[in-house]
Structure 1
């Protein structure tokens, strides 16, 4: 039991420990609320441990420590503030404190530190300028490389085959969505074909049932009359649905009909040919 308690006491602080960015965020919050000493203690500890990864984090930490020393009554406050301001300027020589949140005396002191060390900061500024140019050149080269690769892929891609499809007005009047398929409206064509196929088969099946119920004299036996009437009604209703869908298909296909269409992809299209002996309906496949 004692070992378990010791293990919990050891593990819990590790689990609860904040990461360096979280500690820096807490220091920034404390600094904004005027808790300068506590903010300085946290930021100074982060800098001493060298756990901050980005330039922005290092700049924030050095700014907090420098200003906190400047606002304090520490006997070496000016020397310490100058030390951390110089560390900040060594990261970003052109950094500017925010005049809306920084007292004029602190702004003046910071600019004085910059001016006194301008000669030492100039090489750093030049190196940063060259590094920025190098990064920009690298990014431009990377974009050119990707653009060239994209153009190469496009040049190797097979050319788009275009052809002129001539449509036939005769297909507009055919059932089962033939006009819709010709116009490229496959959804409507499939829907109309399905409706007409189901209605047509239902009507045909009902007709066969009605005919099969007749006796040798072509009449219905009394027990079969009700059944015959039911299937006869189904026959006419389903037949009406078939012809209504056919009529709708004609009107819809006529509205979207175009004599010629320029296509860019392989297509299967109905084809009608007319000769002296009659007409034929087929399917053409183009690649």
Structure 2
């Protein structure tokens, strides 16, 4: 195990070393050229920067810095052809570049601005080309982002479908409930609105019939009548009579009709409710629902005891890239 890790570390170091060395050399050489410019060694700046540019492997920012230093050095040496060449190359890399007037002398700034004006048509073309490249890059980035989002949505949809569970519920219904009044059959069948209609109608008719019954019974009076020619041991025979006075006959007829009509209406609505419940009756109803299982929690199982592990990580440094290796036993 240790031999493999050592070989892996050596191989990775060998691959990263040239990249880090080149980046460190470029930064070091650029710093040396800048220091030479600050000390007024303009000829050395031109020579070293030209050599470094010819070798290549520089970023656009580094090229802009080298061309700016070389152009200013050539301008200070009055080598105007070299100054124009380096400033032109700088503007082709960065068409909107400007010299800092707080650092660069005014004559050099004025010369740079005149050159920029002479190259105005070329710089406009370069700016347009750069905008087109940026627009293409933006469109491409948006396309990749849309594809990434679509792929992510597709992945989530697939995971959601994989977690879905189909549940079938079988509900058995009692046949005798259909004969219970007040919409019991409709409520059992899940037809709540119609059940409420039957329950309210039958309830109102039943209450009306009960009230009419008691109101009709309240009209009766009780009286005792002697029967002539009939003698008993205690005297004349008597008979208890229950009757409705003639003055209350109209009320009696109204309450009697209301009692009978409401009772007939109750049984009519009840018969309609039973018929409807029987017509829609089903012995069992199967309901299918789809539910989603929760996503499984992330695994928190500890690492198997006694199994070594290695973790390699990369990190930036001032001179390039670094690598670190962590061993766990």
Q: Where is the helix percentage greater, Structure 1 or Structure 2?
A: 1
Q: Say which structure, 1 or 2, has more relative contact order (CA 8 Å, 6+ apart).
A: 2
Q: TM-score, normalised by structure 2?
A: 0.40
Q: TM-score, normalised by structure 1?
A: 0.45
Q: Where is the strand percentage greater, Structure 1 or Structure 2?
A: 2
